Amino acid sequence: MDTSIMESLSIISLLTILLIITGSIEAKVSIRPEPNGEVGIMSGESKYFQCIGSSNKEKLYWINPQGQEIVNDPNNGIYTVHIVKKNTIKLELKNPTKQDSGVYKCVSRNEQNQEISSAFFKLHVFNPTVVKAPKESYQVNEGDNVRIDCMVTADKDATIEFMWSFGQYDLSQDPRYRIEINRDRSPNPDEIRTISRLEIRNVSKEHDGNYVCAVDTTNRFISDSKELKLTLRVQYKPRFDEKTPSHIWVSEEAVQQGGPLSVNISCIVYADPVATIGWFTADNRPVDHNQPRGGVKTKIVDSINMSTLMLTFRNIDEIRNPRPNSRIKYKCRAENTQGADSRLFEIKIGRIPDSPMVVGLDYKDGAIILELNETNVEPPIDIYRLEISDEQAHLFNKSNAKDNTTYVIETALPRGEHKVNIYAHNPVGWSEQPYSSYFLQVVSAGYRPSSILSSQYWPCYLFILVINIISLMQLQSSIHFDHHHHHQTAVSK
């Protein structure tokens, strides 16, 4: 070896020994978990760090941002715990506050109390996010304007985002709702106070329900999400459903029965507060409970926002040919503190429709083409039901018609013959079982996008699959045998 290299190595070795003797070389302390220079924590949370030394001869200390040694006193929010066997000192952060932010240092000292190494991190403590409202329940009258406030107090270094929702609906994209965000002064200089206000104009009963103010606060270390549920109760006057019928139909077949005839009229309303419902004759005379009038017995059954008038006529002629003291028109009046509304019901005699006559029945391009000879009946037919032997029933009305008598019902049918029955309905009831069924021949099967392999045909598909697998195995066996036979022939030659 070169003499100069040997001399250099000797000098390095000597210096190393001298440094070790003088204590100038020591392994540095380390902090676990690794803080990577800076740590963010929310006030009120807890966290800990361990400082690990290199030998048992050194002493470890934690120093706070003011340069003071942190002692082992659990009564303090921040304290230390010594783990002697592992030469480790633990720093416990229990519910730190904003004032506890700063640089925390772990120091290693030798027996002469000299600092030989250290490690540190910078702690950032953020004030928690608090979401509240001046009130969490609002009660307004229909037609009023309402403002719902959501107030957030958060750390001054945080970014705040709001989102208002009603059920699953995001209100921020709806121009019918106005959302304002204002910043207010906070008595704490380390916090910011922000108010998001949801304004609804001309409130209706559709606005009644629960609203959610969702708040996201973020900074460069952590994020926090909270939400506040607010209730809006809208009081409105009674109203009837748009589909409330004005006629109560009695079947003409009841003529054959003779004797007493029962008719029920139900009055159902939407109202808040709950409505008081009363019954009157067409000339505004009150209908009393269990009070016979003009040969008609009456009974009234009440429940929340609903009342049923039960009428018993001596026979159907009391309806067909009402006498002056007979009543076939009744008025339901619903009232609460917000207002009132009423509906007039008239009892009429109608006939159940006959079974429809099918003029044409075909299947093309995944749809049944049905042509009917529609009969006139009072009241008119409002809906049809098509029943197929191996399919579910299909309900359809005039909206399905290509013209006045031809209907298109989209459905997927397999090839073959299908039994078809058709029924008609009006407010009196459904037509009876038809005398005979119709049969539909499907030459080209319909395409069902959601299920190419129909569940009812899976045994056929499985059988075909098994046959194909067996054929493939036989083919492979044949190829193997042929190859083996040629090999033996070649050897024998």
**CA distances (Å), origin 399, targets 5, 77, 154, 288, 359:** 101, 73, 57, 43, 19
| Average pLDDT along the chain | 83
* Residue 183 near residue 193, CB atoms below 8 Å: yes
Place of tokens 């210096």: 15
Of the two residues 160 and 11, the one the predictor is more confident about is 160
Q: Give Dmax over CA atoms of the chain in angstroms.
A: 140
Q: Rounded to an integer, what distance in angstroms lies between the CA atom of residue 409 and that of residue 204?
A: 39
Residue at a domain's end among 202, 217, 237: 237
- Structural domain contains residue 377: yes
Under DSSP, is residue 40 helix (H, G, I), strand (E, B) or coil? strand
Asked whether residue 43 falls in the same domain as residue 115, the answer is yes
CA pair distance 342, 25, nearest whole angstrom: 97
Question: Do 360 and 334 lie in a common domain?
Answer: no
Question: Which of 210, 237, 264 corresponds to the end of one domain?
Answer: 237
**Cβ partners under 8 Å of residue 253, min gap 6:** 351, 352
Which CATH number characterizes residue 377's domain? 2.60.40.10
Helix (H, G, I), strand (E, B) or coil at 113: coil
The number of domains in the chain is 4
pLDDT at res. 255: 65
Map residue 73 onto helix, strand or coil: coil
Task: Tell whether 58 is covered by a domain.
Answer: yes
**Interval 33-55 mean pLDDT:** 91
CA distance 203 to 137: 15
91 vs 239: CA distance, rounded Å: 67
Domain match, 329 and 412 both: no
Element (H, E) at 213: strand 209-218
| Secondary structure E strands in 382-471 | 383-388, 394-396, 406-410, 416-426, 429-430, 438-442
pLDDT band of 55, cuts 50, 70, 90: confident
Is the domain of 160 the same as that of 226?
yes
Full domain range(s) for residue 290: 247-350
Q: What is the pLDDT of residues 238-276, one digit of tens each?
A: 999 988 999 999 988 766 667 788 999 999 999 999 999
Confidence of residue 13 (pLDDT cuts 50, 70, 90): very low
Q: How many CA atoms lie within 13 A of 47 on its CB side?
A: 17
Residue 419 has pLDDT above 80, yes or no: yes
Alpha carbons 292 and 313: distance in angstroms, whole number: 10
Under a CB-based contact definition with an 8 Å cutoff, are residues 301 and 267 in contact? no
Is residue 430 in a domain?
yes
Q: What was the pLDDT predicted at 326?
A: 57
Res 414: pLDDT: 87
Which pLDDT does position 292 carry in this prediction?
Answer: 62
Helix (H, G, I), strand (E, B) or coil at 53: coil
Q: Which of 65, 92, 126 is the last residue of a domain?
A: 126
Give me the pLDDT at residue 238, please.
96
In this structure, how many other beta carbons lie within 10 angstroms of the beta carbon of residue 1?
6
Question: Is residue 24 over pLDDT 50?
Answer: no
Would residue 491 count as lying in a domain? no
pLDDT at 153: 94
Whether residues 277 and 313 fall in one domain: yes
The answer as to whether 15 is a domain residue is no
Angstrom distances, CA of residue 157 to CA of 103, 153, 189, 221: 18, 12, 11, 11
Q: Is the pLDDT confidence value at 7 over 70?
A: no
- Over the stretch 124-181, which tens digit does the pLDDT of each residue have? 999 999 999 999 999 999 999 999 999 999 999 899 999 999 988 999 889 889 999 9
Same-domain pairing of 95 and 159: no
9 in a structural domain? no
Q: Report the distance separating Cα 211 and Cα 228, nearest Å.
A: 8
pLDDT at 294: 63
Query: Does residue 158 lie within any of the structural domains?
Result: yes
Q: Which residues of 290-308 are buried (b: 16+ CB within 10 A; e: fewer)?
A: eeeeeebebebeeeebebb
Q: In the chain, pLDDT over 90 holds for what percent of residues? A: 53
- Nearest C-alpha neighbor of 348 from the set 447, 270, 426, 450: 426
As a whole number, mean pLDDT of residues 187-213 equals 94
Residues 144 and 227 in one domain: yes
Which token pair is 481?
Answer: 């045998």
Q: What is the pLDDT of residue 324?
A: 61
94 vs 315, more confident:
94
What's the pLDDT at 256? Answer: 64
pLDDT at 490 over 80: no
Cis peptide before 33 (omega within 30 of 0): yes
What is the C-alpha separation between 189 and 490, in angstroms, rounded? 99
Q: Say yes or no: 341 and 292 in one domain.
A: yes
Tell me which H or E stretch contains 248. Answer: strand 247-251
Q: How many CA atoms lie within 13 A of 409 on its CB side?
A: 23
* 167/209 same-domain check: yes
- Whether 18 shows a pLDDT value over 50: the answer reads no
The verdict on 362 and 346 lying in the same domain is: no
Q: Kindly write down the DSSP assignment for every residue of 252-302, as one continuous string.
A: TTHHHH-S-EEEEEEEEEEEESPPEEEEEETTSPBPPTT--BTTEEEEEEE
3-class secondary structure, 433: coil
Pairing of strands 115-126, 38-42: parallel
- Torsion sign (Cα): 264, 268, 274, 277: negative
Neighbour count for residue 372 (Cβ, 10 Å): 20
159: left (phi over 0), alpha (psi -120 to 50) or beta: beta
Identify the helix (H) or strand (E) that includes residue 476: helix 458-492
> pLDDT for 379-403, tens place per residue?
999 999 999 886 678 888 877 777 7
On whether residue 467 sits in a domain, the answer given is yes
| Lowest mean pLDDT segment, chosen from 387-396, 430-439, 483-492 | 483-492
For the chain, what percent of residues have pLDDT higher than 70? 81
Place of tokens 């619903």: 334
Q: Is the pLDDT of residue 483 over 90?
A: no
Same domain flag for 306 and 372: no
374 plus 318 within the same structural domain: no
